Amino acid sequence: MNDIYTLSILISIATFILTTHITPGPTNIILLSSVLNFGYKKSLPFMLANIISYPVLMGFTALGIGMFLIEHPTLMSLLKTVGVIYLTYMAYKIATSTHSYNTSETQTNKPFTFWQGLIYPWLNPKAWIVYTSTISIYVSSSHNSLSQIGVIVFCIFIAMIITTYAWSFGGVLLKKLIKEESFIKRLNIAMASLLIASIIPILF
């Protein structure tokens, strides 16, 4: 491993990646809302999709697609527009979620699907920029570039496992603590508002 990264650089990479993924953001807010409203098991497809999608996205970024988007402002603007529209739609779904503790009651809303979780990261221009920056900072050797990229992708995979389970645990905990459906509805609106607020960094 020392031939690829020194221990100190490896710790730096792992810390940077975990910090950027586990902090509150659109994906984590959506996941928390999903677990709170529909339960852990029904949110598993969305969780699995995110665990898969982000490392794959980093792999494609490393191939130069991220830099290509950054160097073509028109494409980046188009991606930004589509991403903002999609996030707004997801915020609307969260705000209008109809939660009930009566499991026999027919739910008009459904949890976010595997495909929604798989698609969203690719519509997030911020993810492309952050991942491109990660590659430019931490891929320092042309001789070991593939190995270094492999280490970064693996770190993102582990970080996503930790992140999804940490936030889903938060949703499970909230679900156990909160018993009033009216409070959950207000919480859904608050989370939808946070999701909308998270769009601001994407716009600028």
Residue 202's pLDDT is what?
Answer: 67
Q: Establish if 10 belongs to a structural domain.
A: no
Query: Is 179 part of a structural domain of the chain?
Result: yes
For residue 83, pLDDT beyond 90 = no
**Structural domains in the chain (count):** 1
Per-residue burial over 130-161, b = 16 or more CB atoms within 10 Å of its CB, e = otherwise: bbbebbeebbeeeeeeeebbebbbebbbebbe
Distance, CA of 66 to chain centre = 17
pLDDT per residue as tens digits for the range 87-120: 888 888 888 876 554 444 445 567 888 998 898 8
**What's the rounded Cα separation, in Å, for the pair 76 and 63?**
17
State the residue range of the domain holding 125. Answer: 30-97+106-203
Please tell me which residue, 154 or 138, carries the higher pLDDT value: 154
pLDDT computed for residue 187 by the predictor: 83
Residue tagged 């509150």 (tokens): 24
pLDDT for 51: 95
Greater model confidence, 200 or 159: 159
Instruction: Indicate whether 125 belongs to any domain.
Output: yes
Please report the pLDDT score of residue 106 as a whole number.
42
Residue 173 belongs to a domain: yes
Give the best-scoring range by mean pLDDT among 35-39, 44-48, 105-109, 184-188.
44-48
In a domain, 45, yes or no: yes
Query: pTM of the full predicted structure?
Result: 0.82
With respect to residue 41, please indicate whether it lies within any of the assigned structural domains: yes
Output the pLDDT for position 138: 87
> Is residue 4 included in any domain, yes or no?
no
Assigned domain for 24 exists:
no
